[in-house]
Amino acid sequence: MERMAYYVIACGYLSVLYLTIFWLVVLFRERAGARENLPDQRNGSHSSSPLVTVAIPAWNEAGNIQETMRSALALDYPHDRLELIVVNDGSTDQTAALARQTAAENGGRRITILSQTNRGKGAALNVALRAAQGEFFIPMDADSIIQEDALQRMMPHFADPSVAAVLPLMKVRDPRTVLQKIQWCEYLVSGYYKCLMSALDCISIIPGPFSIYRARVLAALGGFDEKNITEDVELTLRLQHHHHKIVQVFDTEVRTTAPATWRAFRRQRNRWYKGTFLNGLRYRRMAFNSDYGDFGLIQMPRLIVELGVSLLLNSTLIYAFLWKPLTTQLTILWLTDFDMRGLLLDWFSDWGFIDIEWALVFFVVLGLYVGYSLVARAHRFAHEPVGRYGRSAIFAFLLLFPPLITAIYAGVVADLLRGKALRW
């Protein structure tokens, strides 16, 4: 059992090592290019401002809707070229009334408020897409805030006709709890990683808040999948399936509210990971398919196996390095009247340099160092001071995020095995 655990850990370590080194190689290749080539990516930008539609699907968002609408209306973009559509998805609170009030306050602007019975985010976005007149379509989550010059920075990327979607950098809005601070770090690392993926046309998820789509492409693909629990992942894979280019930018940010409690976090992540896995299976034909280049070779297999492999690897790590030693020591302590002296003697008696488990020390220190460097780099990359919410948040992210995700993965696997209803 233990030997098998070590083999699993060794295989997992090798895979993680390979992927880390692979993306580091991409980083070194792109480091200069990502920043310096940006003007080239933007050259030939639109001489005129095309009409854009910002769509806000809202379900019981009375607390956020006005601020989100004001954030969209405050965008630095010609007012007559910006259309705002709010779709009230059967809210039972004051969302619709508050949206109308904000529309009334901004009388001269192109604002449309639509209502439907509750049918989910995908359906609400499709309603907005059908009503939209813009050349570009921008879904915006009702709990998100966008920076004013976002369109100025993101639109020029559409000068390349193969670009179908442009993504902003996501940040957690005003993190207060430890869990939100952990997600703050996660979002930054994820954004950094996506920029690298973007370099290889390997983006596998277009986040909900303020990603810009070419409306023509979106309509041609049939809009959002209304029955999908992660319609954004599904749409991303569909775009990849049809060989459309997706670009991640790093100089525009959108701030979104992250779950503050474990319960809300677990619910959100359960849906995300379940949806990602199921959509990965749905588009499995892209995996190892040379027609899809790097995306088919490295990204699609990851989407499909990540859930199982991560669960197996993290569970094995927890079993081998936490559960087994802990239960053994507790059993011994219990049978020896909690003889702490004996335990300490066992560990430290005649202790020397060679007694240190160097391999373990090496992996832990290296893991923490690489992890910390990555988070620090992601902060700098996102123009944030390192440890903006305390350096302890970074260590909390490095140490607590893997077990948290393992617990959620276990829940997802259990749900999938039980065939538990898949809904938003």
Partner 1 sequence: MVIRRISVRLYLVAAVLVVIVIATGWVLAGLVNLGRTQELERRWSRQQTEWNHVQLLYSNVQRRPLAESCVEARSALLDSVEHIGVMQRKLENYITSPFGDSNDRILKLHREHMKVTLAHWEMTTTLRQACGSAPPPVLYLYSGKRCSRCSVQKKILLFMERSNRSELLAFAVDVDFVPTEEVSRLMGFYAVTSLPASIIAGAKYEGFLPRNRLQKILSGIATR
Select the residue interacting with partner 1 from 32, 335, 417, 421 (CB under 8 A).
335
DSSP H helical segments within 43-92, as ranges?
A: 65-73
Report yes or no: 155 and 236 within 8 Å, Cβ to Cβ.
no
Q: How far is CA 117 from the centre of its chain?
A: 29
Query: Is-contact 215 135, C-beta < 8 A?
Result: yes
Q: Which residue from 243, 285, 380, 383 is in contact with partner 1, where contact means CB under 8 A?
A: 243
Name the nearest CA neighbour of 86 among 108, 53, 117, 119.
53
25 binds partner 1 (CB under 8 A): yes
Cα angle, residue 320 at apex, residues 278 and 411 outer, rounded to 5°: 25
Distance between first and last Cα of the chain? 39
* Binding residue for partner 1, selected from 76, 105, 149, 291, defined by CB under 8 A: 291
Residue with tokens 């690392």: 189
Name the DSSP letter for residue 338: S
Binding mask 27-56 for partner 1 (x = CB under 8 A): --x---------------------------
What order do you get walking across the sheet with 52-58 strand by strand?
Answer: 110-116, 82-89, 52-58, 136-139, 212-214, 163-172, 245-256, 144-146
Name the residue nearer to partner 1 (CB basis): 80 or 291. 291
Is 364 a binder of partner 1 (CB under 8 A)?
Answer: no
Q: Does residue 292 belong to the site contacting partner 1 (CB under 8 A)?
A: yes
Are 388 and 379 within 8 A, CB to CB?
yes
Residue 358 touching partner 1 (CB under 8 A): yes
Part in contact with partner 1 (CB under 8 A); list of ranges 77-85, 117-125, 136-144, 331-339: 331-339
**Structure-block tokens of residue 204:** 């596998």
- Name every residue whose Cβ is closer than 8 Å to that of residue 305 and which is 6 or more positions away in sequence: none
Binding test (CB under 8 A) with partner 1, winner from 80, 105, 174, 355: 355
Q: Which of 12, 63, 301, 342 binds partner 1 (CB under 8 A)?
A: 342
Q: Which is nearer to partner 1, 24 or 414 (CB)?
A: 24
Question: Which residues between 180 and 239 bind partner 1 (CB under 8 A)?
Answer: 200-201
Tokens of 177: 């709890």
Residue 244 is a binding residue for partner 1 (CB under 8 A):
yes
With residue 5 as reference, give the H or E element that holds it.
helix 2-36
Taking the complex as a whole, the smallest distance from the CB of residue 218 to partner 1 amounts, in Å, to 16
Shortest distance, position 245 Cβ to partner 1, whole Å: 4
Tell me: does residue 22 bind partner 1 (CB under 8 A).
yes
Sequence-ordered list of residues with C-beta below 8 angstroms from that of 419, at least 6 positions apart, any chain: none
* Shortest Å, Cβ 17 to partner 1: 6
Interactions with partner 1, residue window 126-185 (CB under 8 A): 162
Single out the residue of 97, 131, 297, 407 in contact with partner 1 (rule: CB under 8 A).
Answer: 297
Q: In the complex, which residues of this chain contact partner 1 (CB under 8 A)?
A: 2, 6, 9, 14, 17-18, 21-22, 25-26, 29, 162, 200-201, 243-245, 290-297, 328, 331-332, 335-336, 339, 341-342, 345-346, 349-350, 352, 354-355, 357-359, 362
